[in-house]
């Protein structure tokens, strides 16, 4: 159970009262003002909707704002979170830690180069014998499967002394990433006290990893420690703005969250260390009743695992002090939306989990924040539509000022225009001010060095605010559709993320944004003709929608990103003084590229004697062999025979490739036959 002192518990309680008390108080004051500015002649149901939607949307803004204010003060004073013991940096590592890289149809050379860079960084700390690395593959592409085995075989010899690199591929990716981690725990968890979970694009510096292990050893009741990752390595304008925002505003957000979450923090699914014992005791994830999208395996499993760890009596910490944690962000707005669709479904599943028994109240708050991060978009949209409906209603159904009953005075409707503008300005300030808090800390920390100069940083923030305003209505429409899809029963599935720089072509932009453009144009025309008083107020929203296609295409271009870098815009220090681990990863990737065989995938197994032996050896290690129909096996054998004897192209379906790759006898005979053909 948690062993925080009474003093620390009082500090934690005070912190939470500040954040949530100010959120409730400011929302209450703003709502009281909002009640007075709604036109008095509005229908009662319309008034109720406007007040209800205002409370939900403003409370969301207020929580973000007050959390950022305290995050700002914590960063300025360099305060540490109460209740956590910080060990001496020279304290020894008394146990073995597993570094896990779960992957799903990723570029094997990138994955392995990241792991090699992490291993090299750990070795420079003199701690390589305290870690082992695991590549946990859920890859479904048979050719990528072989590629993974190839690079794993090559990289084993490049690992530091005392550190092992293991590889395992599951035949069936049940429960996806969470199932992958669970499978590791069931098979090898007893061998390790801690596990560090990564994503395919993760990089963690050795000193950060060592510090995380030291913290776990010093705090025996800690279940999870999360190191906030910084986005790096992408070059499009969209990605560069995300990287810059993460560097400038990210510390404010992370510090604000850590301020009130303390030992009940969340887990972000990667770049974190987990106590294996706590995970195995507490984190058996349920399969939700019903069909997807609300039923089935939980997509956003990380929130749930953190909640279960907390329910089990262990602490979970988000530590902004931990630097040297990196990842990559989606290169385009559309790639970002594709990932967001899966996250949306996962967070909507949390509606079911929210009412689970014995959860920590802060865990329920985490679930509510995750749910509201997506519900806020349709709520904002509804708020705008109701307001527009009121304006249009007055145009088509003019108010009656003089009723049939004679009175001394007409029934003039009252509308507080100044009050409405004041609330709008207040909301915008609460959204934008945290960005300038972050900028202040950023400039104070770097003093204009290694960031493209003070002017470049300030100008970058101003441009980012403009682009964020233009992109906000587009993302609002994306997320509103995602929520609608989930409630309509449409499953997102689990797709491989695009991690490469590739500009968005017009055809793709048109397909994804045509409805946004149409809605923007239609709304602009209707507002201009029938509710002109709202025209300028709606323009920031309608402009973003009308120009969604050029915005999406323009921000996806790496050439624009390169121009910005050249002119000191959206520059982060990690680009000017690149961390050694990032440089090492790039070097390893180049060297691994030279190891690629002239054969690819299945053909490599058929023609390369070493790969043939290695692959066959790994078949029983990777788990039970799936069943394939006799028709699939027969068809594959015929095509394979034509490939060997008649040099025809090996044109196999995915199922046929898998059937051959799981059949050791066929692979052995085929390799020998190809050797005989080559000699003759």
Name the packing angle between helices 630-646 and 664-679 (round to 10°): 10
Scan for tokens 């453009």, then name that residue: 517
pLDDT confidence of residue 89: 86
Q: Which two tokens stand for residue 588?
A: 């390893």
Q: Which two tokens stand for residue 74?
A: 């914590």
DSSP assignment letter at 190: G
Nearest CA-CA partner of 370 in 330, 343, 406, 332? 343
Burial of 664 (0-12, 13-18, 19+ CB in 10 A): middle
pLDDT confidence of residue 400: 53
pLDDT tens digit sequence for 577-625: 999 999 999 999 999 988 877 889 999 999 999 999 999 999 998 878 8
Q: Is 285 domain-assigned?
A: no
pLDDT confidence of residue 411: 47
pLDDT tens digit sequence for 125-174: 999 999 999 999 999 999 999 999 999 999 999 999 999 999 999 988 89
Q: Is 675 domain-assigned?
A: yes
Q: Is 639 domain-assigned?
A: yes
Tell me how far apart the terminal alpha carbons of the chain are, to the nearest angstrom. Answer: 72
Domain range for 639 = 602-679
List the Cα angle 486/492/498 in 5-degree steps: 135
Q: Is 79 domain-assigned?
A: no
Q: Is 618 domain-assigned?
A: yes
List beta partners, residue 137: 103, 169
Burial of 124 (0-12, 13-18, 19+ CB in 10 A): middle
pLDDT confidence of residue 1: 43
Q: Is 204 domain-assigned?
A: no
Give pLDDT < 50 ranges for the chain: 1, 408-412, 414
Q: Which runs of E-coded beta strand occur in 208-334?
A: 222-226, 230-231, 272-275, 315-318, 325-327
Neighbour order of strands in the sheet with 230-231: 203-204, 325-327, 230-231
Cβ within 8 Å of residue 174, ≥6 positions away = 297
Q: State the Cα–Cα distance between residues 74 and 258, nearest whole angstrom.
A: 10
pLDDT confidence of residue 260: 96
Scan for tokens 């899809």, then name that residue: 485
DSSP assignment letter at 274: E
Q: Is 321 domain-assigned?
A: no
pLDDT confidence of residue 367: 96
Report, in angstroms and rounded to the nearest whole number, the Rg of the chain calculated over CA atoms. Answer: 28
Scan for tokens 């015929």, then name that residue: 638
Q: Is 608 domain-assigned?
A: yes
Burial of 349 (0-12, 13-18, 19+ CB in 10 A): buried
What's the whole-model pTM score?
Answer: 0.93
Residue 162, SS3 per DSSP:
coil
pLDDT tens digit sequence for 254-272: 999 999 999 999 999 999 9
Q: How many domains does the chain have?
A: 1
Q: Is the dihedral of CA 301, 302, 308, 312 positive or negative?
A: positive
């Amino acid at each position: 159970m948690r062993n925080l002192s009474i003093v620390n518990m009082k500090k934690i309680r005070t912190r939470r009262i500040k954040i949530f008390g100010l959120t409730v108080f400011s929302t209450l004051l703003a709502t009281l003002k909002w009640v007075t500015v709604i036109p008095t002649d509005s229908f009662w149901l319309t008034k109720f909707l406007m007040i209800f939607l205002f409370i939900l949307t403003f409370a969301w803004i207020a929580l973000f704002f007050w959390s950022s204010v305290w995050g700002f003060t914590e960063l300025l004073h360099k305060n540490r979170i109460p209740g956590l013991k910080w060990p001496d940096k020279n304290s020894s590592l008394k146990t073995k830690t597993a570094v896990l890289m779960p992957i799903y149809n990723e570029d094997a050379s990138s994955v392995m180069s990241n792991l090699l860079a992490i291993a090299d960084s750990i070795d420079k700390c003199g701690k390589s014998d305290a870690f082992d690395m695991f590549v946990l593959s859920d890859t479904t592409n048979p050719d990528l499967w072989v590629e993974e085995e190839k690079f794993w075989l090559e990289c084993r010899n490049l690992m530091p002394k005392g550190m092992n690199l293991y590889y395992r591929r599951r035949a069936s990716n049940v429960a996806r990433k969470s199932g992958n981690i669970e499978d590791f725990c069931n098979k090898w968890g007893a061998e390790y006290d801690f596990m560090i979970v990564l994503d395919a694009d993760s990089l963690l510096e050795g000193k950060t990893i060592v510090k995380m292990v030291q913290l776990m050893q010093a705090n025996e009741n800690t279940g999870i420690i999360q190191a906030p990752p910084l986005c790096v390595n992408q070059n499009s304008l969209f990605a560069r703005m995300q990287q810059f925002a993460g560097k400038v505003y990210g510390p404010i957000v992370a510090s604000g969250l850590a301020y009130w979450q303390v030992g009940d923090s969340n887990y972000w699914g990667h770049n974190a260390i987990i106590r294996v014992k706590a995970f195995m005791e507490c984190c058996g994830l349920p399969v939700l009743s019903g069909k997807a999208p609300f039923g089935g395996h939980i997509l956003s499993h990380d929130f749930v695992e953190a909640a279960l760890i907390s329910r089990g009596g262990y602490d979970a910490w988000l530590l902004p002090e931990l630097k040297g944690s990196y990842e990559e962000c989606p290169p385009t707005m559309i790639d970002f939306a594709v990932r967001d669709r899966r996250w949306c479904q996962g967070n909507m599943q949390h509606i079911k989990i929210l009412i689970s028994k014995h959860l920590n109240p802060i865990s329920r708050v985490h679930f509510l924040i995750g749910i509201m991060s997506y519900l806020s978009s349709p709520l904002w949209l509804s708020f705008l539509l109701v307001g527009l409906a009121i304006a249009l209603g007055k145009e088509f159904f003019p108010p009656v000022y003089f009723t049939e009953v004679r009175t001394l005075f007409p029934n003039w409707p009252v509308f507080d225009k100044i009050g409405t503008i004041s609330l709008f300005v207040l909301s915008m300030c609460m959204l934008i001010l945290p960005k300038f808090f972050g900028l202040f800390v950023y400039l104070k920390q770097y003093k204009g060095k290694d960031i493209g100069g003070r002017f470049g940083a300030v100008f970058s923030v101003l441009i980012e605010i403009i682009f964020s305003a233009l992109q906000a209505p587009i993302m609002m429409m994306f997320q509103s559709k995602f929520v609608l899809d989930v409630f309509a029963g449409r499953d997102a599935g689990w797709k491989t993320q695009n991690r490469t720089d590739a500009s968005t072509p017009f055809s793709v932009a048109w397909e994804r944004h045509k409805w946004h453009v149409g809605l923007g144009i239609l709304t602009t025309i209707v507002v201009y003709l029938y509710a002109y008083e709202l025209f300028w107020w709606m323009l920031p929203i309608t402009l973003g929608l009308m120009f969604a296609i050029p915005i999406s295409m323009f921000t996806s271009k790496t050439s624009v990103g390169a121009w910005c870098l050249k002119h000191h815009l959206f520059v982060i220090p990690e680009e000017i003084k690149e961390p050694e681990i990032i440089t090492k990863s790039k070097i390893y990737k180049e060297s691994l590229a030279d190891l690629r065989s002239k054969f690819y995938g299945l053909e490599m197994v058929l023609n390369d004697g070493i790969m043939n032996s290695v692959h066959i050896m790994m078949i029983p290690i990777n788990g039970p062999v799936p069943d394939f129909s006799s028709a699939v096996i027969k068809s594959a054998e015929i095509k394979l025979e034509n490939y060997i004897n008649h040099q025809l192209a090996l044109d196999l379906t995915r199922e046929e490739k898998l059937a051959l790759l799981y059949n050791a006898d066929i692979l052995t005979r085929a390799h020998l036959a190809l050797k005989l053909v080559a000699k003759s």
